[in-house]
């Protein structure tokens, strides 16, 4: 009669050895997370290494796709050009190697542009501003206007009308903003010219006797183009 007791014991020992070695040499799997996968330039991104199955002797190599690399466990990188970058983490632990990749996108910023109904006229001058801006990636969510006369408007509409109620030359500033926070700005210097006279009174004396006439002189300035045609005088007696 043939006994199989010793071979079975020997086979059980081999299984225990394989299980023990599998626990020592777990499968290496490179992995990481990012705090931001997309944004406006310059885009700063932090990387958190979540690799599993690594021993204390594991080595990491990061390739950020922007010409820079790192061997830190949890590095950071800045991306400037408006394009997609492939970030690669390579983990090497003895004979094992594992690779993980994630794409980072730097959005195209908007291009600001606008047109107006009038660039000059007499006050009060109503001007309609229309945004012709291009969104880049996504959409334009907000428009900021500075009309140069102390009035500023923040709106979600492409159209806005502003009334200039004083004479002068005014700069116009426009800023567009996308939902991701990308912006573009344009400043048009002396873009709006509002014509109008400037009332100015010349008075030789400020006090006079009763029933003595006082001569009032007009030193008002024209707009340089049109003559003053009408004057309205209002005399208010004080006590």
| Tens digit of each residue's pLDDT (9 = 90 or more) over 25-55 | 589 999 999 999 999 999 999 999 999 999 9
Short-list 73, 72, 85, CA closest to 44: 85
Short-list 206, 225, 226, CA closest to 216: 206
pLDDT band at 98 (very low <50, low <70, confident <90, very high): very high
CATH fold of 25-106, please? Immunoglobulin-like (2.60.40)
Phi/psi for 222 (5° steps) reads -85, 180
CB count within 10 Å of CB 125 equals: 22
pLDDT in the model for residue 213: 74
Rounded mean pLDDT of 190-200?
Answer: 84
16-44 burial string, b = 16+ CB within 10 Å, else e?
eeeeeeeeeeeebebebebeeebbbeebe
Residues 6 or more apart from 193 whose CB is under 8 A from it? Answer: 119, 120, 168, 169, 170
pLDDT in the model for residue 129: 98
pLDDT in the model for residue 26: 84
pLDDT in the model for residue 19: 41
44: tokens are: 């700063």
Please say if the pLDDT value at position 191 is more than 90. Answer: yes
pTM of the entire predicted model: 0.67
Dihedral in degrees, nearest 10, Cα atoms 20, 25, 26, 29: 180
pLDDT band at 93 (very low <50, low <70, confident <90, very high): very high
Give percent above pLDDT 70 in the chain. 74
pLDDT in the model for residue 201: 67
Domain limits, CATH 2.60.40.10, in the chain: 25-106, 114-194
Rounded mean pLDDT of 118-128?
Answer: 95
Residue found under tokens 């299984």:
15
Rounded mean pLDDT of 209-236?
Answer: 65
Please say if the pLDDT value at position 206 is more than 80. Answer: no
User: Is 2.60.40.10 the CATH classification of the domain at 114-194?
Assistant: yes
């Amino acid at each position: 009669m043939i006994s199989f007791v010793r071979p079975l014991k020997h086979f059980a020992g081999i299984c225990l050895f394989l299980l023990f070695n599998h626990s020592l040499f777990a499968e290496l799997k490179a992995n990481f997370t990012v705090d931001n996968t997309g944004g406006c330039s310059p885009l700063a991104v932090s990387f958190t290494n979540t690799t599993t199955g690594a021993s204390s002797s594991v080595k990491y190599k990061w390739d950020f796709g922007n010409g820079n690399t790192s061997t830190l466990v949890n590095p950071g990188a800045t991306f400037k050009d408006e394009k997609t970058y492939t970030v690669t983490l390579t983990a090497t632990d003895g004979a094992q190697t594992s690779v993980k990749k994630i794409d980072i996108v730097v959005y195209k910023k908007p291009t600001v542009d606008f047109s107006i109904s009038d660039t000059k006229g007499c006050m009060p001058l109503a001007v309609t501003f229309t945004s012709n801006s291009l969104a880049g990636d996504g959409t334009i969510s907000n428009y900021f206007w500075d009309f140069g006369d102390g009035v500023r408007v923040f709106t979600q509409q492409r159209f806005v009308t502003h009334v200039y109620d004083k004479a002068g030359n005014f700069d116009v500033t426009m800023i567009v903003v996308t939902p991701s926070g990308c912006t573009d700005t344009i400043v048009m210097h002396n873009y709006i010219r509002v014509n109008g006279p400037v009332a100015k009174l010349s008075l030789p004396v400020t006090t006079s006797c009763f029933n003595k006439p006082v001569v009032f002189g007009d030193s008002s300035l024209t707009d340089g183009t049109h003559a003053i045609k009408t004057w309205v005088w209002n005399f208010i007696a004080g006590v």
